[in-house]
């Protein structure tokens, strides 16, 4: 797997389902915004709807900070559509508030380095900045879902870094002290927070 953090996000132009309609989705559609791209293994499975709906239920928090979310799997757009029409209490994702991209030919999964030997995507999550550069990547194995809280925390931290030019220490949250990215400047942070 090649490292794509710090590199231009691999381009894509693929069919998706959004608001019950088929639509072509391109990376360039999100230029000027932050984008969370997350891959999941398959529609009509177990952990996947919990993640997909967790992001959907909090989509406004992403929109409030100039960010969008897209989900991606190797299923067809028709399977995506059928799943978005199935009620939540039956394992469906009815009411989904962001696009699901169909990576039927697996090219996007390969480009982002998440295609596993079983032919499905691992649980990869990528944060792409408004200039189209990948700032963050995590990849989980199939059995464990991701955290919306942590995704928002990391996204806000990268937005802070981009705006202020300072860096964010471990577990940083908005409103907390950041660090100057050089030795002398960082001493201020360590003098306040470095005590055991």
Do 101 and 22 touch, CB atoms closer than 8 A? Answer: no
Tokens of 79: 């399977």
Give every CB contact of residue 60 below 8 A, 6+ residues apart in sequence: none
In the set 48, 101, 125, 137, the catalytic residue is 48
The number of helices, as runs of H, and strands, as runs of E, in the chain is: 6, 7
3 state DSSP class of 81: helix
Signed CA dihedral, 100, 30, 130, 59: sign only? negative
* Residue 17 CA neighbour count, 13 Å, CB half: 21
Bridging pattern class, strands 34-39 and 67-73: parallel
27 secondary structure, DSSP code: G
Can you list the alpha helix ranges (DSSP code H) found in 18-58? 47-57
Distance between CA atoms of residues 176 and 65, nearest Å: 18
Q: Is 116 a catalytic site residue?
A: no
The gap from C-alpha 179 to its chain's centroid, in whole angstroms, comes to 25
> What residues are annotated to the active site?
48
């Amino acid at each position: 797997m090649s490292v794509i953090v710090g590199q231009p996000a691999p381009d894509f132009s693929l069919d998706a389902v959004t608001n019950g309609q088929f639509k072509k989705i391109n990376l360039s559609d999100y230029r000027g915004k932050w984008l969370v791209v997350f891959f999941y293994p398959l529609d009509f499975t177990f952990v996947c709807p919990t993640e997909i709906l967790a992001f959907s239920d909090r989509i406004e928090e992403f929109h409030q900070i100039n960010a969008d979310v897209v989900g991606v799997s190797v299923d067809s757009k028709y399977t995506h559509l059928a799943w978005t029409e199935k009620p939540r209490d039956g394992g469906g994702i009815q009411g989904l508030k962001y696009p699901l991209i169909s990576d039927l030919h697996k090219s996007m999964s390969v480009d982002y380095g998440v295609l596993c030997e079983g032919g499905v995507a691992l649980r990869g999550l990528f944060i792409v900045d408004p200039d189209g550069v990948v700032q963050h990547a995590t990849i989980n194995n199939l059995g464990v879902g991701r955290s919306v809280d942590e995704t928002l925390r990391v996204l806000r931290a990268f937005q802070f870094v981009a705006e202020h030019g300072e860096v964010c220490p471990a577990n940083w949250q908005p409103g907390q002290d950041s660090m100057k990215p050089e030795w002398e400047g960082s001493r201020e942070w360590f003098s306040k927070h470095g005590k055991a």
